[in-house]
Chain A
């Protein structure tokens, strides 16, 4: 049982390059989330998708776009990477937003932008 799978695990980009972070879950969850984690900042929500076909901005959406491709997959795109986007990115999923179950997290993508 894989849970939440993120690819890639590590990536180095140059300023201005674009890339897409991939996330897939096999738990039949409806809701999916993208967070970034920076030292001393906890996790901050970038975008979330309450259900297939919907996406909403979180606390720090600037510079990012998302696509809920289907129920399993939720991707995060950096159109023009900036050094301030150097971070660890976590994807998470939950049964629903009001679920009594916790969110399940992937292993993270460590992204460095030079």
Chain B
């Protein structure tokens, strides 16, 4: 059974600081997705990581995938308030559906 763990679950950051969110998963998969969710809203796709060593960057966010370690990271550079949201990683389960982590709620304050 595929399990996905994110940490930390809550993260309070100051503007301008850097931090990393970790996503570990329990069984082999070569597809991992990162989503963002604002309070009361739907999920927005951020990154699709499809192979070992994949790295994607968009603005202040950078995601990477290490399939051998079963680990993905979402790195935040010089955080700004607009990045405050909940971030989910999700791992493909044999092409049938996604298994989501519990989410990391990020709060960025000045």
**A interface, CB within 8 angstroms of B:** 33, 35, 40-45, 48, 50, 56, 58-59, 90, 96-98, 100-108
| Chain B neighbourhood of A41, CB < 8 A | 102
Q: Which applies to chain B's interface (DSSP): helix, strand, loop or mixed?
A: strand
A3–B41 CA distance with the chains assembled, in angstroms: 15
| Chain A neighbourhood of B33, CB < 8 A | 102-103
B101 near A42: Cβ-Cβ < 8 Å: yes
* B96 contacts partner chain A, Cβ-Cβ < 8 Å: yes
| Chain A neighbourhood of B42, CB < 8 A | 90, 105-108
Contact of A101 among B43, B48, B99, B102 (CB under 8 A): B48
* A40-B102 in contact given A100-B50, A102-B48 (Cβ < 8 Å): yes
B96 near A50: Cβ-Cβ < 8 Å: yes
A48 near B102: Cβ-Cβ < 8 Å: no
A48–B50 CA distance with the chains assembled, in angstroms: 22
Chain A minimum-CB-distance residue to B101? A42
The smallest beta-carbon distance between B55 and chain A, in angstroms, is: 16
The smallest beta-carbon distance between A68 and chain B, in angstroms, is: 14
| Chain A neighbourhood of B98, CB < 8 A | 33, 43, 45, 103
What are 20 A-B pairs at a CB distance below 8 A?
A40-B9, A42-B100, A42-B102, A42-B103, A43-B98, A45-B97, A45-B99, A48-B96, A59-B99, A90-B42, A90-B43, A96-B95, A97-B96, A100-B31, A102-B45, A102-B48, A104-B45, A105-B42, A105-B43, A106-B42
A102–B50 CA distance with the chains assembled, in angstroms: 11
The smallest beta-carbon distance between B23 and chain A, in angstroms, is: 11
| Chain B neighbourhood of A106, CB < 8 A | 42
